[in-house]
Each structure stands twice: as C-alpha cells, then as structure tokens.
A and B are shown apart, each in its own frame.
Chain A
Amino acid sequence: MASTPAAVRSVQKFEKLCGILDQHARRPSRLIPILQAIQHEYNYLPEEILTYVATSLGVPPARVFGVATFYAHFAMEPKGKHIVRLCDGTACHVKQSVPILEALHQKLGTSEKRKTTPDMLFTVETVACLGACGLAPVVVIDEQVYGQMTPERAVELVEEIQMQETAIRVAAAGAAND
C-alpha cells in the first residue's frame, strides 16, 4: 500500500519532520521553533507527531503538549484552506470589529467554538492585534491585509474566494470527466 499517493505524501512529510528536528539538533530548548516549523508543514500540530517530537527530543510528552497548548499560535486541529483572521485589538474593537466577526460567522456558519467550516475551506479566527491599527478595523485573509473593513465588505471578500473555489471545483470535475 506504500505506493498510494497519500502514503507517499505521508512518508515525504515524515522525512521533512525528521529534517526539522535535525535542523534544530534535536535540542529541547528549540521546542518552540520546532513546533512552528511543524505547524508550517502540517498546518496544525497532529497529536501523533507531538508524541514523536517528545520521544526524539527526550522529554515527556506532557512537556510538548504543555507548550503546544499554552501558546495561541499553535493549533491542535486542522485549519481550513483559507484562514480569515479578524483583528480584535483595541483600535479595531472601538471601531466596531465585532459586527464584522458576527457577519463572517453568519455567512460561513462558523462560531466561536467551531472555527472551521465543515468543507475545510475556511477558518475564522480573531487575533489580539496585528499592529495595523491605523487601518482599523482590519481583516487578514491568507496573509493579505484588508483595512477599514465593514461587515458587508468582509462578506464580499469571502464570497469572492467561494466563487474562485467553485470555479476550481468545476474545472477539476470537468477535467475528471474528460
């Protein structure tokens, strides 16, 4: 079964994981940069990977889980393809960022608890401050910063991505039929 594309990808990923660990000389003091690199690779921190990290660094799994769950940047669940981050720093908050969040949740059917859509296309998160306070309120979609947002404009941005995704799906289905 090792020849299926998924299995090949998983082996390649595992090699990358070992590469990350070696790059940091498997030193426990490098745990945070290691987890950052793993999250970059996997887009979240899978539980089994964390156990492996603990073993290879020679520290108890509790220590690795402790660090992974302490910092807001680390995600223990897979994130959607597109990450919508709403800034809820002070400047954005006083300029009415909450209605934008509500509009996004309503549009995508997400909530404070369920941040990712069932089709794994979107994750809606809030962040404390992106430091772009001059443009408040700010929404960041896949690293692109959008300033002076309104609920309507934020929903439009999401709709644009949804349309692109539909186009990609239609094209893929068309290619499969050919």
Chain B
Amino acid sequence: MTKAEPLLSKPLTLKPTNRISNLSQVRRVIICAGTGCMANGAMKVFEQFKQQMPGSGLNVILELRPEAFDHDVRLSKSGCQGFCQMGPLVTVLPDNILYTKVRGEDVAEIIEHTLAKGEPVERLLYKDPATRKTCRGVNENPFYSRQSRFVLQECGLLDPEDIHEFMLHGGYRAARKAFVEMSPEKICRSVLDSGLRGRGGGGFPTGRKWDAARVQNSAKKYVICNGDEGDPGAFMNRSVMEGNPHSVIEGLMIAARAIGASETLVYVRTEYPLAVQRMRRAVEDAEREGILGKNVFGTGLPLKCEVMEGAGAFVCGEETAMIASIEGRRGMPSPKPPFPAQSGLWGKPTVINNVETLVHVSRILNVGPEVFRSVGSKSSPGTKTFAVTGHVANTGLVEVPFGTTVREIVLNIGGGVTDDAGKIWKNGFKAVQIGGPSGGCLTEEHLDLPLDYDSLRSVGAMVGSGGLVVINQRTCMVSTARFFMEFTQRESCGKCVLCREGTKQLLALLDDVIEGRADANTLVLLEKLGHAVQVGSLCGLGKSAPNPVLSTLRYFRKEYEEHIFEKRCRTGRCKALLRPEINPEKCKGCRVCVPSCPTNAIIGERKQAHTINAELCIKCGACAKACKLHAVEGI
C-alpha cells in the first residue's frame, strides 16, 4: 500500500516557483465548507475568524495570490473533508491540528492559543470513542490515518473556488500532458494498463470504453461526466464536485483528448445545489484561464464544457437514460447495443464516466499506470471511496484500497457499531448493506471478505456507487429490503413490464410479510418473481432491483420465516405484528394507562391487573409510555 505523495509541481500560469517552498510555511486555517459542515454552522465560524483575526495582530490573507507568502495566516474554505458527523471541522497547518465541532464562540480561543502561540486547544480535538485517546491531527485520528486518500486528499485541503490553488498543487498538469505530449492511443493504453474500472457501479474497464469510442470515425464526439449520484446513502461524488471541481474538469479533458471529443458535459443531481454552483464556477474559471476554450494548451484543439442539472430521476444515472435526459426527453433507457461509445448523445460516439473514475484518470497520468496498479487488489486496482453511514460511530467518506475488509472499514475506521442513541454497541453488528438499492447485504461471516468488484458479486452484492450502510441488531431486515424495494418501485421508469409491475408486486409481497398476511407460498413467490425481474429488465435498475430482497432472503431467511410463521418481528419494529400485553405480575391496577389509550382498549378494575382488548388496540404504544411499572410488554 503506497500513500499519496504531495502533488506540488510546476504551476501553469502563476509562476512563484521560488516561493513554493515558502508555501508550507504560511500558517493556514482551513474551514470545511461541505454540505454537512455548513449545515452545522461552518460559515459562522469562517466569519468569526475573518472578523477576529485582524484584531489579534495577525496578518491575514483570504486568497492565494503571490503576496500570500508574505502573510502570517491564510484563511480558506475547503470542500467536504468526509468526517461530516464531527463538523464543523477546522484544520490548522502546518501545525497539523484538526478541530472538530467548532462553534463561533471557540474562534477567539483558537486564535489566542493556536495561531498566536502554536498550542492546541485540547477540548476541541477529536477523542476516539473506542480508546478515549485525544487525536491532535489527521495522522493520529484512526478515521483518517487508516485510509488511503487519493481522490479525497485534495478535497479537504484546496479552496474549491480557487483555480490558482488547484494549479499550484499540480492541477491541470495531467491534462496538459495529455494534450501536448500524448497521443490519444497512448492515453487509452495508459488507462487500460492501469486496470482502472468504472467507479459508478458496473466496474467496466475505463480504458476499453475509451478505446471503443476512440476508434469510431466521427467528427463529433462527446464525453459526459455522470454526477447523477442517485443511490440514497452515497455522497462521494457530491463531495468531489463540491470539494475539488477542477479535478473533475481535468478528468473530462483527458477523456475528451483520448477519444477526440470537443464537447463535454457534467450532469449533476439537482438535489446537490452546492455541487452545481461550484462546478459552474469552476468551468467559468477554467474558461477564463484559457484552459477550456478554442485553443487548449496551444494545440489548436477546442474544448467546451457545460454543466447540466438533473431533474430528480434515479434512472438517469443509467447511461442511455442520461443521454435521453440531456436530449430533453423522459429519462428512459434504451437497449444496448448500440453502446453509447458507438452511438450515444445525438447519435454520436459518447463516453460516460462517473465522477470518481474521471478524478482517478489524472492521477494515473501523473504517477503512471504501474504505481496506480500497485494499490488495491489484482482484479480491481486503485482505491474506492465508500460512504459509511447508518449505525456506526464515525459516519463519513472512507477511501481505502480495493481488497480492504468490511471489518477494517466498519470496526476500525468507522469506530464500531452503535445503538439507536449513538452509543458504541459492542455486539451490535448485524449487517452492512452495500451498493444501495442495487446491492445486497453482507453479514458477520463476510467481515473478513476483501472488498472488490468480483468478491462482492460472488456473494450476491455489488460495489455499486459505494454506499455502505451499517445496520445494527435493532433493525428489521425485511423492512430494510422493503425500503429499497419501495425506492426502486418508485424510480422504475415504467418501460419494461417486469420492472414496472414486478417491483410493485415484490413490494406488495414484502408488505404481506411485514403486516402478517404472508404464508409459506410468499417466500417462493418472492424468489421466483425476483429472478424474473432480473432477467426481464433492460437496464441496471431493473436487473438489480430485486438484489436487496434476494440477498436478505439468502442471509436472513430466518427473519422472514419468523414474520410469516410466528407472526413476530424480533426487533419489534414491525407494528402490525406487535402483540402488546399487560403482564399481570407487574400490573398493580393503578389505572394510569387507562386514560392514555386513545381507543379505550384497556379494561380492568382498580387494584386488579388490567388487560388489553386486542380488537380495539391500535398498537400506538401510549400505554407502555404511561406505565411506570413497565408492565406493558411486547411493544
């Protein structure tokens, strides 16, 4: 496993080369301005720094200009640093201090101690919940130190709205190399040699896709960046587009050069307003600097880039549906072949790559395919970002080499499984749901499975876009399957009958299980119909829609059977199966519960044990809340 080296290199337009060594000496205060930290008040913290720093006698600069090197402190914003739960995050460099959950009131203390004297403010440092150890910087923090951050590294460091800073860190160097020094064949060869596979879910070799478009004889070709990250629970593409939009443009430029395209487009989900705004700004800045435009790097080749906002349809993440959407039609997939590389947008050869894939490309050109291959597993080289969420201590973005185990991600980097209140629950692990609505479950037996495209497929799951939801023992797996089925049913575009109607019926069958109407035949039907939907659908959405059901049936069949045959849910979360009863041994007949019941279902004399009339009971749980003796059980 190699760690990423600093990417400082020859700048393109700014030329303070002799001053680069000074760059690291200017103290930097970086405030995370990702969606998560901004929701927690990061901008207030930024404003407080801006206001208070001049009064403290410190010489502050906000933008990276050549004169920045003569200042004491540079204050800047960064993209998402991936540790969203602990935000707002404030990083101080070169002291290498990471402050978590910083409030506006804490700013004065940070200025006084850290900026003036170089001492950390202990109470704002992160405490590892597992070891109770205080972590000063990212290198001591297990959440960060156990990751291999390639794609995300710069997200937390660079100001996403400052093209000069990106360039000072070696940005657009790979794009320049691709345009000036390399032929399209050579670029495709490099990407092919690196073994890079599409990070959007399918895992198709990127080099092969590019080569297929390159050999097409067409004057017009397109490259599209797929930023329609619809998988609920995944947000790595959002973070990159918000945190390092120029790296996306650079990847697009290399792809365009490799296939001979003159127009590129970034399709961003409309639910990500900040990503749309930052991508648009980045395109404008790149045009102003002459990086995009009529004459890219003096080669005479033109290149345009447009940012398009999606309109809220999950299926548009599928290549052919996305093309339909860009052409102004309903986002419905069409049969392949012809593949988009042969006939895509407006019937022209088109390459569609995921955000994360494109960001990897510039790294491959910078460090060479061999170095890229040296990380990760044999069949899946490189790193992958997982969005770790759900019942886990550290939620956030985790970038690890392929081949890392679930144990490492959930228990070590993620800090362990938590209960519903967020406290560490040592034996609480039940499953991880990986790959979102197209993926499947991994259980305790898979904790040591090295994650890559092929190993996951072999156990009925998939990498998908990399959503990894940790599920604790208090979660009902049938309901989890139902949640995903409801999602795919709603998002099915309706073109293929088996996907449109099949997902509806699968959902109805799951409702039968959850609401106690199912019988032995339901399980057989679920499996049969699941397989039918898989083979009878055109696109990835339909083909993978039954995965969550089939995968939970495979690993949690017992839970389905309990629902069906014993009419009980072991987690107590399926309301229809609840059987609230008053334990006569505990009940003292105090009548406190009687008025709490909205349907007057509780009967009994004072000082005698009460009972619940099951026909009237609506299982609202009000009596259980009212009873101080905890005599109401089963709810």
Contacts and interface: CB of A to CB of B under 8 A. Distances in A.
Interface of A: 28-33, 35-36, 63, 66-67, 70-74, 88-91, 93-96, 127-136, 138, 143-147
Contacts of B309: 33, 36
Contacts of B269: 131
Nearest to B242: A131
Contacts of A147: 36, 39-40
B interface bracket (residues with beta carbon within 8 Å of A): 35 or more
Interface of B: 35-36, 38-40, 83-85, 87, 229-235, 238, 269-273, 308-314, 325-331, 387, 389-391, 395-396, 420, 433, 436, 467, 469, 471, 475, 480, 483-484, 487, 491, 493
Contact of B233 (A73, A127, A129): A129
Contacts of B387: 133
A89 B395 CA distance: 14
B315 to A, nearest CB: 9
Given A94-B475, A134-B395, A135-B40, A71 B483 contact: no
B311 A73 contact: yes
Contact of B420 (A35, A90, A93, A96): A96
A72 B39 contact: no
A134 B311 contact: no
Given A90-B390, A135-B85, 18 more contacts: A29-B327, A31-B329, A67-B328, A70-B313, A70-B331, A72-B312, A74-B312, A90-B484, A91-B389, A93-B483, A127-B312, A129-B230, A129-B233, A129-B235, A131-B229, A136-B395, A146-B39, A147-B39
22 contacts: A29-B326, A31-B328, A36-B270, A63-B329, A67-B328, A67-B329, A70-B313, A88-B232, A90-B233, A91-B390, A94-B390, A95-B390, A129-B230, A129-B235, A133-B233, A134-B85, A134-B389, A135-B39, A135-B84, A144-B39, A145-B35, A147-B40
A130 B328 CA distance: 24
Contacts of B271: 127-131
A147 B422 CA distance: 14
Contact of A134 (B270, B328, B396): B396
Contacts of B273: 143
B471 A134 contact: no
Contacts of A63: 329
Contacts of B40: 135, 147
A154 B40 CA distance: 15
Contacts of A132: 35-36, 39, 84, 235
A133 B39 contact: no
